[in-house]
Amino acid sequence: MITRRSLVGLAGFWAVFTALGVCWLSGSFAEPRLWILGLVWGVVGWALAWFFFLRSPLAEEPVEAVSLTPSPEAEEMEEVPPALLESPAEVLQPELRRDEASLAALSGFLSESRELLKAASGGTHLQDLKVSADFIRENVQRTFEISDNLAGTAQQAFTLSEKVQNGVTVVTDALAESMRQSQVLFDQSKRIVMILEMMSDVSEKIHVLSINASIVSARAGALGRGFDVVAKEIRALAKETEHSLKNIEEVISDLQKTINDVIVVVKNADAETEQEKNSLITVAGSLQGVILGVEIIRAVSAVVKEKAEEEATLVQKLVEDEAHGLASMLDSHLADWEGRVQALNSSSFAPKE
């Protein structure tokens, strides 16, 4: 093993023996001064070698130990079976074939793994998964579109309800007007009653006067001037009666007009009510449409839910299949490789411990 110390020692020996060699070659061993000079020369050479060594890069890092003893490989080479030395081809070919078989198995394992990865990334299961995912996505989009349509329908229903409210207000006003007109009709009928009572009184007075006139006429005999007075009173009452009758005619005429107005108002109310009835039917129809639309959404959602469940099952199966396949394949190859390693360890060509 070469060490820094041995290098320095070798350099010192080289300097001393160089000096001694020079002395011997010059034949001056008999001369002590020359011999001492050669020795001093060697010591100085050794010192210079040590000095330059310390300044060199070799002194900065340790020198690796180099074993000069025979290596285990070299020792083993001595124990190579004679059969290997005599016919190496026959001995090595089975080992080479076994290595080739191992490499072929490794290549097959890699190919199988590649196919498995390819199947996992783009196989039938994942393709189905993608189709299902697309299906779900499209249906969700349609669900949103249907919801939008329903929102429009709800807006229509709201507008219709506003129209119904306005119509109901009109109907209420019309009914109030009918009530007012009816009250007028009632008041006028009371006037008619009063007039009729007055006519009754007049008629009664005429009756009394006519009786009195008859009595006076009978007493006077030839003196019938009083009868003339009574006759005049009767005529006056007749005029009064006639006047009252005219009033009755006017009241009746007003009553007819009022009744006609009521009829017109009631007709308008009836028309409004009819329109509102149609509006209410429309509102009911709209609400029924909304209900049916919601039912369509529910049907779509049910299909989406069913599809999502199928997809979840498919994914679960995919994961289980892939995991099981990979585990089986790895177990198989591990067992194979373990057998090969054991076979190599037991072969005569294996290194000895």
Partner 1 sequence: MNKLGIEAVAQDKVKVELVDNGAGVMVKFVGDIDMEDPSILLDPLFEKIHSGMVSKKIPEITADFRGLNFLNSSGIKAIAKWIMKLAMLPADQKYVIKIAHNKAITWQVTSLPTLTFLVPGAVKIE
Q: Which residues bind partner 1 (CB under 8 A)?
A: 142, 145-146, 149-150, 153, 156, 281-282, 284-286, 288-296, 298-300, 303
Give the list of residues 6+ apart from residue 262 with CB closer than 8 angstroms, or none: 178, 181, 182, 185
Distances in Å between the Cα of 228 and the Cα atoms of 220, 223, 241 are 12, 10, 20
Q: What are phi and psi of 34, to 5 degrees?
A: -65, -35
Burial pattern 269-297, b for ≥16 Cβ within 10 A else e, equals beebbeebeebeeebeebeeeeeebeeee
Which tokens in the block code for residue 65?
Answer: 């130990």
d(CA 199, CA 332): 130
CB nearer to partner 1: pick between 256 and 278: 278
CB nearer to partner 1: pick between 93 and 278: 278
User: How far apart are CB 110 and partner 1 at their closest, in Å?
Assistant: 38
User: How far apart are CB 151 and partner 1 at their closest, in Å?
Assistant: 12
Which tokens in the block code for residue 73?
Answer: 């490989």
Cα distance from N-terminal residue to C-terminal residue, the chain: 25
CB nearer to partner 1: pick between 145 and 338: 145
CB nearer to partner 1: pick between 154 and 171: 154
User: How far apart are CB 283 and partner 1 at their closest, in Å?
Assistant: 8
Closest CA to 303 of 128, 142, 125: 142
The amino acid at residue 319 is: V
Q: How many residues appear in the chain?
A: 353
CB nearer to partner 1: pick between 238 and 303: 303
CB nearer to partner 1: pick between 128 and 233: 128
The 3-class SS string of 76-91 reads HHCCCCHHHHHCHHHH
| 8-state DSSP, 29 | T
Q: What are phi and psi of 69, to 5 degrees?
A: -85, 160
CB nearer to partner 1: pick between 278 and 328: 278
CB nearer to partner 1: pick between 120 and 297: 297
User: How far apart are CB 308 and partner 1 at their closest, in Å?
Assistant: 14
Q: Is 221 left (phi over 0), alpha (psi -120 to 50) or beta?
A: left
Do 16 and 32 contact (CB within 8 A), yes or no? Answer: no
Do 105 and 332 contact (CB within 8 A), yes or no? Answer: no
Burial pattern 167-195, b for ≥16 Cβ within 10 A else e, equals beeebeebeebbeebeeeeeebeeebeee
User: How far apart are CB 263 and partner 1 at their closest, in Å?
Assistant: 32
CB nearer to partner 1: pick between 96 and 294: 294
User: How far apart are CB 93 and partner 1 at their closest, in Å?
Assistant: 60
User: How far apart are CB 162 and partner 1 at their closest, in Å?
Assistant: 16
User: How far apart are CB 133 and partner 1 at their closest, in Å?
Assistant: 15
User: How far apart are CB 275 and partner 1 at their closest, in Å?
Assistant: 15
| 8-state DSSP, 67 | -
CB nearer to partner 1: pick between 123 and 293: 293
